[in-house]
Amino acid sequence: MTNDKKPWSGRFTEPTDRQVEEFTASIDFDKRLYRYDIEGSIAHCRMLAGRGIISKEEENTIVSGLTDILQDMETGNFAYSIDCEDIHMAVERSLTDRIGDVGGKLHTGRSRNDQVSLDIRLYLRDEIVRTIDLVETLKSSLLTLAKNEIDTAMPGYTHLQRAQPVLLSHYLLAYWEMLNRDNSRLTECYGRTNIMPLGSAALAGTGLSIDRDYVAECLNFPLMTKNSMDAVSDRDFIAEFIFDASLLMMHMSRFCEDLIIWTSEEYGFVEISDAFTTGSSIMPQKKNPDVAELIRGKTGRIYGNLVAILTVLKGLPMTYNRDLQEDKEPLFDTIDTVQGSLHILSEMTKNLCFHRQRMLEEAAKGFSTATDVAEYLVMQGVPFRDAHEIVGRLVGYCLETDKELPSLTIDEFRHFHEGFREDVYDRLTVESSVNARNIPGGTSKEMVVRRIAEIEEKKS
């Protein structure tokens, strides 16, 4: 027979209103913490026995009951009930139903306040590792693409206007660098998450002689929290993860924005595989970059989760408040969204086909080598500001006469400055412009190949 008594029932003279039970219950979403709740409970139980707070026989009975519950949950044979309120009470009530009153000894020396903090930290550190692995997969996809497109030139943009030619590989590696920083942030977040809070109890610790070091060792925590009030009241590690995820989603969104623009007929730089696009219900000819658009759209969703958790935390008095129940849904949704986006973007990136000739042709347009001409004059001893003005007037002349820089005669060049010679034409090709940027971090083929080699060497 199921025990429906609340854990706080001794203080109350009336049963909880059903509406209150429904409003305050979190079991529908926090049940995904079940594995971590049981893992933490087993470690806590073994510690209690080791300190002589419960007997060895009681330890074996409790651990056996928890193991059975875990098996039922893993196989989908566990019946969750809103009466249990949250995953902690669902496990504890089921344990007591299975093994009797000895199950009530499991909660000795702890509170749901430090218990939930433990569960979330155990859960989140696993999910951070999964997220980092997915970011690495996307980085690998970009790196492979960069190696394959090492000779592909494209127009680089500022203000969405053609600026200077760059290598497509250089562009792709820009996103590799962004994702690499994302993983650095996630790694640091892991370190601040990987701290054991159990033993803080409700807010002040416990008067029982527990062994926090033992529990930390059992659960592979290198550190323990230093202040019981801080341990149960803050969720900054959750906010930090969602912030890191927001930056990660922003980087993916920017890449997707470029792909969306580039797939248009106006650009025609890339085609996404049919397997990662969709069509129109009314226009038979359409091929829409819906996956990229959804990643772009879901980025705002993660930003919303960040604002939600920060808003929950901003006005909380010390220490635990029920508002903190609202930390889980933004966290869970962020994890599901960012990991799903990473996975599908990695696969889609492997299925991109760049139109190299089109990109090369467009890279040569729009006076994209004008800066090279200015730098040519600088090498003749002309101050850069003067060179900038001279080339600006050259471009103005080209616009008036409907010409491009390579089509000008040497006399036309010299009309604007006598320092121009025949070798100026060597600076006007896309290839020469790209390879002129032969400094660390530049877009020349030599530097891009070198950066790829550095990345691969670090991976090996």
Catalytic annotation, residues: 159, 280
* DSSP per residue, 93-137: HHHHHHHGGGGGGTTTT--HHHHHHHHHHHHHHHHHHHHHHHHHH
Q: How far is CA 329 from the centre of its chain?
A: 17
Query: Which residues on adjacent β-strands are paired with residue 153?
Result: 167
Name residues whose C-beta falls within 8 Å of residue 216's C-beta, 6 or more positions apart in sequence: 196, 222, 223, 224
- 14 burial via Cβ count (<10 Å: 0-12, 13-18, 19+): exposed
Instruction: Tell me how far apart the alpha carbons of residues 276 and 389 are, in angstroms, rounded to a whole number.
Output: 47
Structure tokens at 339: 């990991």
Instruction: Tell me how far apart the alpha carbons of residues 33 and 7 are, in angstroms, rounded to a whole number.
Output: 20
Short-list 199, 178, 193, CA closest to 331:
193
Residue 232 one-letter amino acid: V
The answer to whether the CB of 299 falls within 8 A of the CB of 253 is yes
The answer to whether the CB of 324 falls within 8 A of the CB of 390 is no
Instruction: Tell me how far apart the alpha carbons of residues 8 and 27 are, in angstroms, rounded to a whole number.
Output: 18
Structure tokens at 61: 């009975």
* DSSP per residue, 291-337: HHHHHHHHHHHHHHHHHHHHHHHHTPPSS--GGGGGGHHHHHHHHHH
Name residues whose C-beta falls within 8 Å of residue 395's C-beta, 6 or more positions apart in sequence: 367, 370, 405
What dihedral do alpha carbons 266, 269, 273, 279 form, nearest 10°? -10
Query: Which residues on adjacent β-strands are paired with residue 161?
Result: 158
Strands 270-272, 153-158: pairing kind: unpaired
For 15-31, give the secondary structure using H, E and C.
CCCHHHHHHHCCHHHHH
